[in-house]
Amino acid sequence: MNNTIARCFPETTLGSALSVIQSSHEPVFVFNDNDEFLGLVSPYYVLFKKRLPYTTKVKSVIIIPPRINNSTPFYEIADFMVATRIYALPVFNDKNEIKEIVRAKNIIKELSKKPDIFSQIAQKIKIEKTTTAKINSTVKDVYKLLREKGTTRVVLVDNNKKLAGIITRKDIENAFIKPTKKQKASTRRGEPINYSLDQERANRFDIAISKFYTRNVLTAKKELGIEKILQRMFRAGKNSIVIVDKNNLPYGIISNRTILKAMAEFKPKKEIPIIFRKPTKKTTDYEMGKIYTLLERLGEKLDKMSPVQQIKINFKKSKKPAGGIILFDITLQVEFFSGKNFIAEVEERKVEIGIREAIKRIEKQQRRS
């Protein structure tokens, strides 16, 4: 495997760290002065999820990856890659040292050589709906779509809604980061443009997206079938393939992320204990089922970052003097095998609304941890 990685120190700014990577899924590896590995920086997290300034120090956004070794199942690696949108992860030896780097492309390539597994993965592939924008859109228009839809790519169409090109998160980054001497010459359509980090964000947002997009897009007719579409994508060495109809109108898209999602489905479902009682005697089984589903989804999401031991929720009903309003004091607690605990307390008239608010607070604690 290719072990070349982008490296930086904790005091490095995001602008400097991100200027040397070639993909929004490629992390920057953070080391201290003693060459000890500290964690990863995710371009997606800092630019599209948090929208942090480029002067932010790397040390404040470090993500700790799972301890992957040579016996870690492919579906666990794929599951973490999907959850974090980081497609290059360190593999550790018995001494907790980085032995090599496992990349999404490598996993997909190796599994594509195994007909039985490849066929099973293809059956789990779900063609993703394309997010589209007009070719005359601005950087601001596309940036907004990338954030709102949580997607990696936006398909560009002409006035007749026919395929005209594609734009990725990394292309958008090029609108904000000044190319360094280490970067290769642009292969994008249009003249190269340099943008220094101290320019006004508003000015950069107004730049035409046509300065950054890729014109030649790998495509396949939807009638071709998933396995043959995947084979075409692999042969071309591309990260995505746009599926079009007979009129060249975008129908869907398959990307490395689509494939990773299918691979992650092989992971055996973990049963996380969820402990709670009926909020009231009148609570129906249907309402109990909705509560359980909300907590189950929370557990699955958090467990991808750190193994969850159990989830507990407690309801306490109280009556307020003013108007005799009945409120529920809801306490949601998530316990991890690491010993870490998240607790959220909410006061709300309606149980489901209160639970959803408690879940938001737990997720906020997870993001800050």
Question: 4: pLDDT confidence band, cut at 50, 70 and 90?
Answer: confident
Longest distance between any two alpha carbons in the chain, whole Å? 71
Above 60 in pLDDT, residue 107?
A: yes
Above 70 in pLDDT, residue 185?
A: no
Tokens describing residue 42 = 């995710």
Instruction: Note the pLDDT of residue 199.
Output: 42
Q: Read off the pLDDT of residues 252-283 as tens digits, 9 standing for 90 and up.
A: 999 999 999 999 988 887 889 999 999 988 89
CA distances, 230 to each of 152, 268, 358 (Å): 18, 25, 41
Instruction: Note the pLDDT of residue 197.
Output: 34
Instruction: Note the pLDDT of residue 221.
Output: 93
Above 70 in pLDDT, residue 192?
A: no
Tokens describing residue 185 = 């010459």
More confident residue, 172 or 76: 76
Query: What percentage of residues in the chain have a pLDDT greater than 70?
Result: 89
Average of per-residue pLDDT across 222-228: 90
Average of per-residue pLDDT across 149-162: 90
Contact 170, 188 (CB under 8 A): no
Above 70 in pLDDT, residue 365?
A: yes
Q: State the sign of the Cα–Cα–Cα–Cα dihedral 251, 237, 264, 295.
A: negative
Least confident of 207-211, 236-240, 323-327, 354-358: 323-327
Could you tell me the domains of the chain? 66-267 (3.10.580.10), 274-368 (3.30.160.100)
**What is the full DSSP assignment across 44-62?**
IIIIIIS---TT-BGGGS-
